Amino acid sequence: MPDAMIEPAPSPFPRVRSGDLTSDLDLTAAELRTLLDLAAEVKRQPNRFRLALRGRILSLLFEKPSLRTRMTFEVAAKQLGGDALLTTGPIGGREPVEDVARNLERWTDLIVARTFSQETVDALARYAKIPVVNALSDRYHPCQALADMQTLREQWGGWRGRKLAFVGDGNNVAHSLMLDAARLGLDFVCITPPGYEPDTKIVQMARQFAVETGALIEVTNNTEEGLRGAGAVYTDVWASMGFEHEAAERARVFAAYQVNRELMAMAGPGAFFLHCLPAHREEEVTADVIESPVSLVFEQAENRLHAQKALLLMLLDGPAH
């Protein structure tokens, strides 16, 4: 489509006050809602945004393998008129993280970091004068949670009065989902084997947010109790990258927490199934659940693109000048 035929995108875009997304907490509750509204608009009318970040370049720094995160950030940049460059391998291995940050800020407009350690993301943000996005760390997965909240609103029309149950390891995905749910008024329960509960500080923060929205934030080891009334059931792999050495032990410990038809039946009628992918069929989830009509896993994957487009629009100030 010629540029002259593209309806101009609304400008200026709302800005993220912190200037980064190192964790879910970099977004205020109001900014979180604004971003999700913008993501819905980007999804409805993508052509309006095709030139919104013309000339902008993203640095993708990936310590971990990736399909969805890499592809959605690259496609997002290109569909908004910009581009993205990928570097793989340890961040701070050949040279200090602070030097990496201060080089990239001179060449590119935003850093997307997929790391083993949250400290690496924080260091990049501390030293770079350009926005830094956490595309996954050991503590948070904010981009995934944004797409998940968009997906649930598409199904339910809203979040209040609904309940999301996360079953499995109280990991980075659970942390991000909990923090976003609390601020959006969505009840959230994390159901884990004993000893695998989410970080208590994050649970406390989520409960503080929930005081304002009325959301109920729970942690339990009891699947039947936790799943009661849930409108959506979410799980993740039992041994995330970096924990492969624990895979055999975790398979034993988590066996009773497999999301199968029997477990789904403990939730509310017609409850949806979610997974951040990649999924290990017949481990944390059975094939008949992930392939069932209530599975939203590919809707979640699609919405990574739209939510991340909205995030980029709110972190960057339009096309390069």
Residues designated catalytic: 114, 141, 144, 236, 276, 304
Q: Three-state DSSP class for 111?
A: strand
Residue 4 has a CB neighbour count (10 Å cut-off) of: 5
Quick one: tokens of 144? 């995934």
Residue 161: Cβ within 10 Å count: 11
Complete DSSP assignment for 245-269? GGHHHHHHHTGGG-B-HHHHTTS-T
Closest CA to 132 of 97, 171, 156, 169: 97
* CB count in 10 Å sphere of residue 59: 24
Judge whether 115 and 89 are in contact, CB under 8 Å. no
Give the pairing type, strands 163-167 and 110-114.
unpaired
Residue 97 and residue 127: Cα distance in Å, rounded?
8
Alpha-carbon dihedral sign for residues 155, 44, 274, 307:
negative
What the block records as the tokens of 137 is: 């760390």
Q: Which residues pair with 62 in a beta bridge?
A: 88, 114
**CA 184, CA 187: separation in Å to the nearest integer?**
9
Could you give the angle at the alpha carbon of 43 between the alpha carbons of 17 and 86, nearest 5°?
Answer: 65
